[in-house]
Copies of this chain bind each other. A is one copy, B any other.
Amino acid sequence: MKRNIKITGIGSYLPKRIVDGAEIDKIIGAKNGWSEKKSGVKQRYFVTDETASYMGAEAAKKAIADAGIELNELDCIVSGSGTMEQAIPCNASLIQEQLGLQHSGIPAFDINSTCLSFLTALDMISYAMESGRFNHVLIVSSEIASVGLNWSQNESSILFGDGAVAYVFSKTTETDSSHIIASRMETYSAGAHLSEIRGGGTKIHPRNYADDTKEDFLFDMDGTAIFKLSYKLLPTFIEKLFKNTNLTMDDIKMIVPHQASASAMKIIRKKLSVNEERFMTIIENYGNMIAASIPMALYEAIKQGRVKRGDKVFLLGTSAGLSIGGILFEY
């Protein structure tokens, strides 16, 4: 269903510390250049003293300024992140606090579908906005991957980076053509354990942290299996998403994929028969930023002038779960 909302503001926050390939090679004991060649990631950002709520709030302040609204004009704050800052309360509440909105009453909650959290948050909130519940909604994806990386699993540890992106979405006015055209999500828990952190929740409480259990508290990924499953499911998923839209892939100005890995994105791009110009890739400079990847790539596409008002954009990603998600919209 068409939802008449538009992006009115965007902001990002990147940690102070830049970590290049050489530093990663040193950590994992590889020869210089190996990690960059293997992952396609030249640099990523790792937090030092930054928290997820701090980064989220810094990104949010920029997005709110960009939207030209006051902080207290926000009607809702949603955290769309795959990681939590602390077990309780939810991230959105901590971001509200960092924004100085402690007494505002602006509703704040989290939507989590791991790497697709930003998409799911946007997808669900757009219905509430279309129905008139909210006028301006802040969606923040703020992720700290670095703290949970398993440095003995090179496949994943060389890929990830930290950072935050925030968007203000607003109901459109009569003169706007911006809108969400279609959206879709599918979850196949046959892949639920292909990328996971088993510990940290109620199943394996932190009190069980020990030398022989410590990997349960770190990210564990079977990238090849994820890719195989996603690759098989993707064509039908896209077909169903485009159905009833009167659009084909040719109508899309920019495909903004989850920055899962450089090699996976390359294969997907070829599968979709799309040239590099229409397929946004930022993994080289940021790594995989979990749920912040798609909104950061979209932000870069807009900043670089590669997506302009009126252009049709296709956000597409996979996540732990295993889920596939997509949103077609006119910017």
Inter-chain CA distance A199–B196, complex, in Å, is 19
Protomer copies: 2
Please determine whether B199 and A207 come into contact, CB atoms closer than 8 angstroms: no
Please determine whether A189 and B85 come into contact, CB atoms closer than 8 angstroms: no
A303 contacts partner chain B, Cβ-Cβ < 8 Å: no
A110-130 vs B, Cβ < 8 Å mask (1 yes, 0 no)? 111110110010001101101
CB within 8 Å for A87 and B124 given contacts A130-B131, A189-B102: no
Inter-chain CA distance A68–B28, complex, in Å, is 54
Which residues in chain A, 217-247, are within 8 Å of chain B measured between CB atoms? 217, 219, 233
Please determine whether A93 and B200 come into contact, CB atoms closer than 8 angstroms: no
A74-108 vs B, Cβ < 8 Å mask (1 yes, 0 no)? 00010000111111111011101100011111111
Interfacial residues, chain A to chain B (CB-CB below 8 A): 1, 3, 51-52, 77, 82-90, 92-94, 96-97, 101-114, 116-117, 120, 124-125, 127-128, 130-133, 144, 147-148, 185-190, 192, 195-207, 209, 214, 217, 219, 233, 319-323
CB within 8 Å for A206 and B199 given contacts A90-B113, A320-B89: yes
Contacts of A203 in B (CB 8 A): 51-52, 85-86
Please determine whether B77 and A187 come into contact, CB atoms closer than 8 angstroms: yes
* A192 interface neighbour in B97, B113, B128, B207, Cβ under 8 Å: B97
Contacts of A110 in B (CB 8 A): 110-113
> How far does the Cβ of A150 sit from chain B's closest Cβ, in whole Å?
12
In the complex, residue of chain B having the shortest beta-carbon distance to the beta carbon of A123: B128
Inter-chain CA distance A147–B198, complex, in Å, is 15
Contacts of A84 in B (CB 8 A): 84, 87, 200-202
Q: A90-B114, A96-B187, A105-B188 are in contact. List 17 more A-B contacts (CB 8 A).
A: A86-B197, A86-B198, A87-B199, A89-B196, A89-B319, A89-B322, A93-B187, A96-B189, A102-B192, A107-B187, A108-B321, A109-B111, A109-B187, A109-B323, A127-B128, A205-B217, A207-B209
* A82 interface neighbour in B88, B148, B196, B322, Cβ under 8 Å: B88
10 contacts between A and B (CB under 8 A): A3-B131, A51-B203, A84-B87, A87-B197, A88-B320, A89-B322, A93-B187, A93-B322, A102-B192, A209-B209
Inter-chain CA distance A320–B90, complex, in Å, is 8
CB within 8 Å for A87 and B206 given contacts A77-B187, A187-B96: no
